[in-house]
Chain A
Amino acid sequence: MSLNYNNPEFVIERDQDKCIECRVCARQCANEAHFYDEDLERMREEDINCVNCHRCVTLCPTNALVIKEYPLEYKKNSNWTGGMISNIQKQANTGGILLTGMGNPTDKKIYWDHILLNASQVTNPSIDPLREPMELKTILGRKPDKVEFDEEGKVKDLPPQLELETPIMFGAMSFGSISINACKSLAQAANEMGMMYNTGEGGLHEDLYPYKDRTIVQVASGRFGVHQEYLNAGAAIEIKIGQGAKPGIGGHLPGEKVGEEVSKTRMIPKGTDAISPAPHHDIYSIEDLRQLIYALKEATNYEKPVSVKIAAVHNVAAIASGIASAGADIIAIDGYRGGTGAAPTMIRDNVGIPIELALAAVDSRLREQSLRNKVSLVVSGSIRNSADIVKAVALGADAVYVASAALIALGCHMCQKCYTGKCNWGIATQNPELVKRLNPEIGVERVKNLIEGWSHEIKEILGGMGINALESLRGNRLMLRGIDLTEKELEILGIKHAGE
């Protein structure tokens, strides 16, 4: 084997005066970046193994540790950056595809940050959510154009709907990509907060059946873990066509993460890579999608709304319109910054479009075709805070999926190494030693706190606008203004510039 040309990404700085050699760092680091040197009788570090997940820094009892970017200065070059060079060296070593985890980190415009919100002054009183009712309840599902009454004058049943207490759901994350303790934290938090969580394409572990009323079960191209009982176990079904982090390809669970439980839940052999086909092999066109939507509705007696999730790609508006007419009750759109447990780096960083533009285009198109009121629209990828949610709803979304933010609440520090299965926080791993680090009881509280905090913030912002029900914000783009955007961007977003 030739020389490994790769250099460390991070450098671990240990203050030897502070270090008491308790070795907690060594025990906590699944990447083996810390070790005790018996000869020197002190702790040492293997920088090249460090992924900068902060586990050791957080747990070090004497604050002796600092992780920094490795100060390796390539000769200044805007084209051949350090990242580009090290990627090539990695591939020259292995001949493989560059893999990565979590959402697109590249330095492209984030439209949320170029949108500003309105507030009332004088002519219209702002409403104080501490003293007045403020309603965030959100109802997802197919709606008729008008309510109908039977001969006795009683209102006829609507198609099945999901009722959310806040316009937030946990986005699809499979058992396999994340640990059972992470799944339990999300499922129980969803249950207690009146939200939904989503199984991803990992099937439904038996420990999660108690939360079925708050479960969206996903059917993806690999059909992992899909059976009659599974379909009927959730409150809604989602057909996953695509994902923002990797449009055009299927899911990928490395064999390292397929242990006993994952194997049983997914109905695949232990230790095998679970690689979903790029397309659904029964969906080669929009009419095939319609057949699958109705097959799933048949299988569940028309009692559950069916969602179709797609990645935000160039002609997303036309696709969404087709999905609406194919019979979907909910359309979920995942932007190019959406997270993932594992994706090829080149695809994650280069394929797809921003969710803000996709959402605006889809909402406008569905309105032009008088379809918008019939289907619900859910967006994701990425929602980072409550203001992003308010902006998404004002652009036209009914609700959002959050996933990365929920994992951060559980302890994720965004090291982007989910695909290695060595998550030191017990989230994106199946190693029992690591999994038990995440206490689901604490996890539930932390995730609930996040959603509670965000919901309070949404209410404050709504009240400031003089609105006391979320419906009045939906698609209300007059509440938005752009800053530092071109005419074309404003046109696509359907908003005015600040000052107009």
Chain B
Amino acid sequence: MRGSRPTEKIMSGCAISGILNRRGKCFSGKEIMDSIALMHDRSNGLGGGFAAYGIYPDHKDEYAIHMFYDDLEAKEKVDYFLNRHFVILVSEKIPTREVEAINNPPIIWRYFVRPDERKLSESGLEEDEYVAQSVMNINANYRGAFVVSSGKNMGVFKGVGYPEDIGEFYKLEEYEAYLWTAHGRFPTNTPGWWGGAHPFTLLDWSIVHNGEISSYGANKRYLEMFDYKCTMQTDTEAITYLFDLMLRKHNLPLEVAVKAVAAPLWSEVERMDDEEAKLVKSIRAVYGSALLNGPFSIILGHKDGFLALNDRIKLRPLVVAEDEERTYVASEEAAIREICSKPEKLWSPRGGEPVIGLLEGRSGV
């Protein structure tokens, strides 16, 4: 069943996994599906999904908009909106195959678009901001329509079901990406909603997340001051927007954003040298409301690589491994060993310690 958008916040436990080829070589979705499938018991069949970077080389300069529609009426309305604000180069159904375990999917569509030149210049906005506002507008105001992803040369494939079934449904073995992330979901009290599955995205940012954020109420109200509307009733949406705010709108270095969401403990600050202590204190003073509290592990995907991060007292599992070309992250070591039996390095990052995987030659996410 397709489910409907919930009216209260949904709590869930989860499995996450990610693979980056640091040299930018693209590889099929089969491995990420094997990795997430190994952690089958960490999800309950009510949500699974994948983010893939590098899959649309022929359209790499256009925004790839992945959509869910409950019905054709919703699609017509959004088509009208997109036609008015964008130039649509491609509009097509995303190919899927029949899978026994996947029932009643929504209409799954993708567009490759460019902002309408005149509208863009009239708006006075940067191109990314123009797209971000359009996405939030659709999600907040168009009933029965949901923007699944909106970045360039990337896309998200998700739905209600176990992640391995979702991968099969979307024929992910046919896509090739240099960065894959995946998610298996275990929500506690919802029949499952296609839009509620992870990853959550905005522009190039995608987030898969295991955990529950006890600071959600504070984060959400903070984001509202910067015109973000949290309408999905999930923590993950708020995390996505926090990174978008700090990295894109405030143009902060990634390390600074990390120190905001997983702030070093004050007891650690006392041991820092003056300059670093001043930096951390300033970040904490200004971005205190962006601190993420509660148990979480996340993988933030982006066109240049990924950031994996635990809450600062490590209340959720996260393991990282590396071999010659690739970096792996997952909730469980076994999910890495399943696809890379002998990594060169394998470790558990400490709470609050960011793991940054980048394409070679890129200086920061």
Residues of A whose CB lies within 8 Å of any CB of B are: 120, 122-125, 127, 132-133, 135, 137, 139, 141, 143-147, 154-155, 158, 161, 367, 370, 372-373, 465-469, 471-479
Contact = CB atoms under 8 A, between A and B. Distances in A.
Contacts of A471: 215, 218, 284, 288-289, 291
Contact of A476 (B211, B215, B226, B279): B215
Contacts of A373: 222, 225, 286, 289
Nearest to A165: B266
A125 B313 CA distance: 12
B315 A125 contact: yes
A466 B289 contact: no
B252 interface: yes
A110 to B, nearest CB: 23
**Which residue among B215, B256, B267 has the maximum number of chain A CB atoms within 10 Å of its CB?**
B215
B44 to A, nearest CB: 13
B94 interface: no
Contacts of B214: 120, 124, 465-467, 472
A125 B295 contact: yes
Interface in B268-313: 275, 278-279, 281-289, 291-295, 312-313
B266 A137 contact: yes
A155 B279 contact: yes
Given A155-B279, A476-B215, A478-B9, A469 B293 contact: yes
A463 to B, nearest CB: 10
Given A147-B282, A466-B293, 9 more contacts: A125-B315, A127-B313, A133-B313, A137-B266, A147-B287, A468-B313, A471-B291, A476-B218, A476-B221
B223 to A, nearest CB: 11
B349 to A, nearest CB: 18
Chain A interface mostly: loop
Nearest to A146: B250
Contacts of B312: 468
Interface of B: 9, 11-13, 188, 211-212, 214-218, 221-222, 224-226, 246, 250, 252, 256, 263, 265-267, 275, 278-279, 281-289, 291-295, 312-313, 315
Contacts of A145: 250, 286
Q: Which of A147, A154, A158 has the most CB of B within 10 A?
A: A147
Contacts of B293: 466-469, 472
B251 to A, nearest CB: 8
B249 to A, nearest CB: 8
A145 B223 CA distance: 12
B310 to A, nearest CB: 13
14 contacts: A123-B188, A124-B11, A124-B211, A125-B295, A132-B313, A147-B283, A158-B286, A465-B214, A466-B293, A468-B312, A471-B291, A474-B218, A475-B289, A478-B9
Contact of A372 (B13, B216, B225, B284): B225
B225 A370 contact: yes
A106 to B, nearest CB: 33
A490 to B, nearest CB: 15
Contacts of A469: 263, 288, 291, 293
B263 A472 contact: no
Contacts of B12: 123
Contact of A367 (B11, B215, B221, B263): B221
A479 B213 CA distance: 12
Given A133-B267, A367-B224, A370-B226, A147 B286 contact: yes
B282 A475 contact: no
A125 B292 CA distance: 15
Nearest to A156: B282
Nearest to B280: A155
A100 to B, nearest CB: 39
Given A158-B282, A468-B293, A475-B289, A135 B266 contact: yes
Contacts of A146: 246, 250, 252, 286
Contacts of B285: 139, 141, 143, 158, 161
A55 B216 CA distance: 49
Nearest to A398: B288
A127 to B, nearest CB: 7
Given A133-B267, A155-B278, A472 B218 contact: yes
B282 to A, nearest CB: 5
Contacts of A141: 285
Nearest to B278: A155
Contacts of A133: 265-267, 313
Given A139-B284, A373-B289, A471-B218, A123 B313 contact: no
B286 A367 contact: no
